[in-house]
Structure 1
Amino acid sequence: MITAEEWRPLLERLERARGVLLTTHQNPDGDGIGSMLALWHHLRRRGARVAAHCIDPVPRIYRFLAGSEAVGCGPWDDPGFDTIISLDCGARGRLAQPERFFAGRTLINIDHHRSNKRFGDLNFVDSDYCATGVMVHGLIAADGGAVTREIAEAVYVALVTDTGSFRYRGVTAAIHRLAAELVEAGVDPARVASAVYASNSRARMRLLTEVLATLRYEHEGRSAWLVVTREAYRRTGADVEDTEGLIDLAASVEGVEVAVMIRPHGSGGDDWKVSFRSRGRVQVGELAAAMGGGGHPDAAGCLCVGTLEEVTARVRARLTPLLAG
């Protein structure tokens, strides 16, 4: 874990910064958005010039968070900001910003992924944390900041989403104590659960019907596979945000050890995002890393190029030895 003293170089850099830009990875999730907003609230309160920005917009399910309306999206180029803090992003390329975004700026990398490439000028990377939001909580404490309700709610969203609602490995008594502290600071768990897990659009439900029709089992029922296609998006009116959580349905099936979901990535016809979930025996973070991606032992992903059939075969070849025996 990162101590208050170890956070000191970052805090000293913030004292000198003309402007601080907070950002996270493309297709941001709850940890990326929650981490970014928690730190945004803290830095604004201490009088810093700070902005939050991501190449992609804040997903609908996280727009209930205070400050989410201030998060910009798309390419960024403002000469008034000399410091970038990347949150929850394992590789610089996943920020998906043009090269001019980084030129002449100090890049600070805060992340909890074991596969992080340590791409910053300053790197704060520790895979012992279950969420980057928990790291930000520690940073705020090191800076002597109070945890307001807005900060607590952002950290809670990061925590609950990146632990699979406290289901993944690495969830300790300390994590539950932190969750309790956040509730005491004003978080309403029912409000968060309703926004994140119970606000399905009709388009998402149509997509769910189509995607579940692709469900198949391999490895004598130990793996479950789902496929999303661009045609499914067009037919249902859904988008990539609507795929959130679908893989967890496949992973919940009795006897399944690993779930795989393959969906389109970007605008390229042969670009695919492969997501993995594990019930514990197989470390899918290592599987994803072997395919150029990364993540956590129980939840990970990678990008692949090829036809759907080629990508499926490539994943199957990597997964089969892990499920043998």
Structure 2
Amino acid sequence: MTRKTRIVEVRRALLSARRVLLLSHKSPDGDAMGSSLALLSGLLALGKTCDVVNVDGVPANLLWLPLAERVALLPEDGDYDTVVFLDCGNPDRPGLDLEPLRGARWVNIDHHPGNGDFGHANLVDPGACATAELVYEVLQALQVPVGFTAATNIYTAILTDTGCFRFSNANARAFEIASRMVHRGVDPSWVAQMVYDQQPVNRLRLLSRVLETLELSPRDKAACVTVTREMFRATHTGVEDVEGFVNYPRSVYGVEVGFLLREEADGRYRVAFRSKGRIDVAEIASEFGGGGHRNAAGATIEGTAAEIRQQIFDRVEAAWDDLLLRRREAG
């Protein structure tokens, strides 16, 4: 099925909807929030009754986004006939009890590989720079004017998901849509300041502690930092404050893969992977029951931090050896 056909299916589902629930993944990033709020603005413009929910709420650095005040932690007791999953690789990502929503029509809009098309209508394209790219095309199909509210959310989503246009998903379409949003009144300098230059002091104190845990693999191809629950308690911070920390180990000279271990309440570790492009971290994450993109992936793993760190170090070093071997054989 072509992307155009999928957009038509999503358009049909949204136009026929009476009451819509918008969901995004736990620990939301700029794409999850921006996509949700951009679509919310469009559906409200169509006169739809619409709620937007994220179990972790809006991250502190995104509270300024237009319509952010509409985000609730739990769905209202209501009869939703349509549920839209945004930026969710699978239906469990929002972290909600889905049983009350089984009777609704599910719409799935996402750009993660391996999504599986779990909705009744699916707009999934791993080639999209961000889920917000797909939301923008849905708004166009709905013939909803993209005003300043939607434009700000779409631009912010693309800015953050491309790492300020530094990552490999910063393709021509990313710049094209970003340019269109600027023409609709978005100020790139102001958005960047609001997202990146309004950090709470406690977040920087947490970062200081996290960077002290930096460790490298034997041949310096992987680097890791660790966040413990004790660090959160000592600095009065939370999970949302860790957003972006994984890019520090990734930025180390000579490192191919950076990853962050975050201790969870049940003793497991949530692992965020970031690659500079030559090693596929989605493949590594899948070996631990996770998934994601080639350059950005995640998994939840049981074990001690030391055990998990060593397992990933070994896997990255092995992937590096495989890469070198293929290069020698090719040439």
Bigger shift: 135-144 or 91-100? 91-100
Q: Given the superposition, is the C-alpha separation of residues 316 and 223 from structure 1 closer, same or farther in structure 2, using an over 3 Å criterion?
A: closer
Amino acid paired to 1:138: E
What letter corresponds to residue 211 of structure 1 in structure 2? V
**Deviation of residue 39 (structure 1)?**
0.3
- Provide, for residues 115-173 of structure 1, a one-character-per-residue CA deviation record: whole Å limited to 9, x for no partner: 21322122211101010000000111111121101101100111011111111113222
- Does 2:136 match 1:137? yes
Letter in structure 2 aligned against 1:283: D
Unaligned runs of 5+ in 1: none
Q: CA deviation at 1:4?
A: 4.5
One-letter identity of the residue aligned with 1:290: E
TM-score (norm 2): 0.93
Aligned residue number for residue 71 of structure 1: 71
* Cα distance in 2 between the residues matched to 1:223 and 1:122: 39
2:306 maps to 309
| 1:78, distance to aligned residue in structure 2 (A) | 2.7
Distance of 1:201 and 1:103 partners within structure 2: 40
Partners of 1:24 and 1:155 lie apart in 2 by 15
Distance 1:101 1:188 in 2: 41
The offset of 1:14, in angstroms, is 2.1
Taking structure 1 as the reference length, the TM-score comes to: 0.94
Aligned twin of 1:282: 279
Matched, 1:221 2:214: no
- Cα distance between partner residues in 2 of 1:307 and 1:51: 39
Amino acid at match of 1:85: V
1:252 equivalent to 2:251? Answer: yes
Equivalent position of 2:293 in the other structure: 296
| 3-state SS, counterpart of residue 26 of structure 1 | coil
C-alpha distance in 1 between matches for 2:108 and 2:33: 15
Distance 1:2 1:60, change over 3 A: farther
Moved more, 98-107 or 58-67: 98-107
Q: Secondary structure at the match of 1:242?
A: helix
User: Helix, strand or coil for the counterpart of 1:303?
Assistant: strand
Contact 1:274 1:304 in 2 (8 A): yes
Indicate conservation of the 8 Å contact 1:77/1:101, yes or no.
no
Q: Post-superposition shift, 1:301?
A: 1.0
Query: Is 1:176 paired with 2:181?
Result: no
- Kindly indicate whether residue 22 of structure 2 is the aligned counterpart of residue 22 of structure 1: yes
Give 1:5-44 correspondences, 5 Å limit: 5-44=5-44
Q: Give runs of ≥4 in structure 1 deviating > 6 Å.
A: none
Q: Which residue matches 1:191?
A: 190
Deviations 1:181-204 (A, max 9, x none): 111111111111111111111111
SS of structure 2 residue aligned to 1:246 = coil
Shift in CA distance, 101/196, structure 1 to aligned 2, threshold 3 Å: farther
Please report how far the alpha carbon of residue 241 of structure 1 lies from its aligned counterpart in structure 2 after TM superposition. 1.3
Alignment pair present for 1:156 and 2:164:
no
Secondary structure at 2:185 match in 1: coil
The equivalent of 1:125 in structure 2 is 124
Which whole-Å CA distance do the structure 2 matches of 1:292 and 1:158 have between them? 27
Question: Residue type matched to 2:44 in 1?
Answer: R
Residue 104 of structure 1 deviates from its aligned partner by: 1.1
* Cα distance in structure 2, aligned partners of 1:251 and 1:158: 21
- Give the match's secondary structure for 2:51: strand
Give the Cα–Cα distance (whole angstroms) in 1 for the partners of residues 90 and 60 of structure 2: 25
1:12 is displaced (CA, Å) by 1.9
Q: Which amino acid aligns with 1:53?
A: V
The number of residues matched between the two structures is: 322
After superposition, the CA RMSD in angstroms is 1.6
Letter in 1 for 2:231: A
Deviation readout 1:10-54 (Å, 9 max, x if unpaired): 222223222011110111111000000000000101111111111
State the match for 2:209 in structure 1. Answer: 210
1:5 Cα deviation from its structure 2 partner:
4.3
SS of aligned partner of 2:13: helix
Aligned to 1:59: 59
